[in-house]
């Protein structure tokens, strides 16, 4: 009887350990840009001129009616593969795709896109892409390499190595003249162009060793917005760089915050809480004042694989639920952020059009 009891106790302990181990692995995968979550896993969301673009491991989808119906694009339409990791759309609605071992350019003709793909070394996953007004492309590779390619007859890229430390789950932002990279050591990097290459300088925050997410908004006089990547209470940092370093103001919260949007005109901040609220920060007498609003229609924005906020305050998010990844859109209504489900074009039981 004692042996049976010991066996049962050991089984119970192992079951509890496995459960929490799976929970931790599951939470990590939800935040991993390169997680293998199936064909309906949404990797990126972007909007330009009321046209919505979403990327997944099963291609690109475009909606002209705010997510009601979709057009789908994949390798047959010129993408280097079906995996789309990042999206950038310029003011002429040319679409630039960072994919799995490829960079693609899509030109719209008669309301339909056709893509040309390029495969620059080192053939990694391009987690961030940007193209400036001179058609120079910037692509960030999953092995922490920056690729810069001028547009001639086709895109050819030069490889730029990044100083360590860096972070696989970094946030990379481009503003045309500088490149900002968050790291997992409580610091961030600023790359300044020097000739044909970029020179990076590291800025360390005092008493911070967390992964930092960098939010950069053009037109805000080089103001830098930083949020920590920990699971517990973390501040956000807002500041500027001069010849003496990075000068910032720290805002603390009871629960960890992640900046998901900064309005380029009003400087209004949208923050995703590690809970079921969204916090909005507005500037009052030169200082930010914050107020939190409950979320309705979804359980938790924390488990979003991709989040995008447009200049009107509409939030688009891909949320993991019992049916895989579902697409939602929501906005502030009264004292709540109200979310409604819209079709996920990469899920077979959702409606879409080709």
Homologous superfamily of the 41-161 domain (CATH): TolB, C-terminal domain (2.120.10.30)
Q: What is the pLDDT of residues 17-58, one digit of tens each?
A: 232 222 222 222 223 333 344 557 888 999 998 899 999 989
Q: What gap in Å lies between CA 62 and CA 53, rounded to an integer?
A: 5
- What confidence score (pLDDT) does residue 256 get? 64
280, β-bridge pairs: 270, 291
User: Is-contact 111 100, C-beta < 8 A?
Assistant: no
Give the residue extent of every domain in the chain: 41-161
Six-digit token string for 179: 């490149």
Strands 112-118, 102-109: pairing kind: antiparallel
Q: What is the pLDDT of residues 309-325, one digit of tens each?
A: 988 899 998 887 776 78
Q: What gap in Å lies between CA 242 and CA 264, rounded to an integer?
A: 21
Q: What is the pLDDT of residues 185-227, one digit of tens each?
A: 777 888 887 776 778 888 887 766 566 666 655 445 678 888 7
3-state secondary structure of 13: helix
pTM score: 0.80
Q: What is the pLDDT of residues 65-103, one digit of tens each?
A: 988 889 999 999 999 999 999 999 998 899 999 988 888
Q: What gap in Å lies between CA 200 and CA 219, rounded to an integer?
A: 22
330, β-bridge pairs: 315, 339
3-state secondary structure of 113: strand
Q: What is the pLDDT of residues 116-137, one digit of tens each?
A: 998 766 556 787 888 888 888 8
- What confidence score (pLDDT) does residue 340 get? 92
Six-digit token string for 339: 């979310």
| Cα distances (Å, whole numbers) of residue 314 to 32, 63, 109, 317, 336 | 24, 15, 28, 10, 13
| Burial per residue of 45-75, b for 16 or more beta-carbon CB atoms within 10 angstroms, e otherwise | bbbbeebbbbbbbbbbbbbeeebebbbbbbe
């Amino acid at each position: 009887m004692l042996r049976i009891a010991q066996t049962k106790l050991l089984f119970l302990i192992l079951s509890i350990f496995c459960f929490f181990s799976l929970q931790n692995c599951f939470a990590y995968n939800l935040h991993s840009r390169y997680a293998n979550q199936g064909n309906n896993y949404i990797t990126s969301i972007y909007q330009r001129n009321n046209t919505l673009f979403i990327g997944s491991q099963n291609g690109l989808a475009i909606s002209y009616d705010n997510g009601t119906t979709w057009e789908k694009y994949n390798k047959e339409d010129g993408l280097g593969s079906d995996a789309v990791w990042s999206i950038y759309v310029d003011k002429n609605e040319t679409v630039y795709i960072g994919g799995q071992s490829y960079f693609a350019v899509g030109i719209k003709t008669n309301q339909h896109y056709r893509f040309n793909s390029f495969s620059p070394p080192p053939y990694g996953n391009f987690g961030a892409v940007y193209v400036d007004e001179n058609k120079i492309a910037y692509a960030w590779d999953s092995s922490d390499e920056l690729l810069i390619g001028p547009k001639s007859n086709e895109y050819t890229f030069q490889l730029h190595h990044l100083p360590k430390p860096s972070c696989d789950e970094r946030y990379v932002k481009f503003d045309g003249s500088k490149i900002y990279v968050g790291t997992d050591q409580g610091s961030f990097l600023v790359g300044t162009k020097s000739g044909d290459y970029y020179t990076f300088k590291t800025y360390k925050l005092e008493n911070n060793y967390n992964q930092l997410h960098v939010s950069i908004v053009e037109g805000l006089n080089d103001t830098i917005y930083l949020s920590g990547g920990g699971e517990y209470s973390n501040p956000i940092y807002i500041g500027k760089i001069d010849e003496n370093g990075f000068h910032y103001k720290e805002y603390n919260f009871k629960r960890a915050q992640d900046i998901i949007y900064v309005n380029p005109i009003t400087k209004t901040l949208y923050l995703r809480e590690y809970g079921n609220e969204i916090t909005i920060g507005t500037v009052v007498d030169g200082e930010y004042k914050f107020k939190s609003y409950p979320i309705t229609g979804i359980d938790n924005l924390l488990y979003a694989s991709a989040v995008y906020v447009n200049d009107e305050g509409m939030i688009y998010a891909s949320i993991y639920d019992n049916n895989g990844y579902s697409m939602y859109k929501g906005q502030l209504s009264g004292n709540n952020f109200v979310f409604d489900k819209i079709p996920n074009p990469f899920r077979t039981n959702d409606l879409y059009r080709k």
